[in-house]
Amino acid sequence: MQITGKTALVTGGNDGIGLEIARQLKAKGARVIIAGRRAAGDDAIAVDLSTADGCKTLADAVADKSIDILINNAGMSGNFGPEDPVDLALTDKAIFLNFNAPLHLIGHMLDGLKARPEACIVNVTSGLAIAPRAGGPVYCASKAALRSFTQALRFNLKDSKVHVVEALPPVVETQMTAGREGSKMSPAECARQIIAAIEGNKAEANVGMVKILQLVHSISPALARSIMIRF
């Protein structure tokens, strides 16, 4: 896809990966609309995408913007550890934001995307959608669901003008991973690889170490699971 001249909507665009995607798309000549919990500057929409009403509000707000690229990036952990009480309200919110919100936005916006000369949907999942870690059951499950949906959606839209990309980041330096030890990719490099997949019409953007995880999983899913469950 040629990005110059396109209009993109990036959810979760106030910080982290989403903010870097927005910056880099703008640098390539796209008009970028950011959706997040707070509005900062022009072409920014404050909205809570953890509810159906919030998703509808956003879709209505951009209905006349001729969106070419929809990037479903907004997400949250909603996780709990083995000794933690289960906060069902929090888990429901996380599952909606991580999984239902992309479905709602696509449902509201698909006809408009199909009407564009070329369009792209990017669903940001995670390497943990391939194999889960014990410390993130809710996040992993919701991202795995979005991965499955994305694969089916891609097949269903294969004869349309809408290209579907799944972006699978590794651990990235964001607010969500603050305080977590170990190596983390910069949001800028993660965004660069995702945008390269958009430009190259790739089906997946396996970012950084996720390439190795995909290889291990292709050889032995059980081995990939045994490694990642303790990650």
Which residues are designated catalytic? 139
Q: What is the 3-state secondary structure (H, E, C) of the chain?
A: CCCCCCEEEEECCCCHHHHHHHHHHHHCCCEEEEEECCCCCCCEEECCCCCHHHHHHHHHHCCCCCCCEEEECCCCCCCCCCCCCCCHHHHHHHHHHHHHHHHHHHHHHHHHHHCCCCEEEEEECCHHHCCCCCCCHHHHHHHHHHHHHHHHHHHHCCCCCEEEEEEECCCECCCCCCCCCCCCECHHHHHHHHHHHHHCCCCEEECCCHHHHHHHHHHCHHHHHHHHCCC
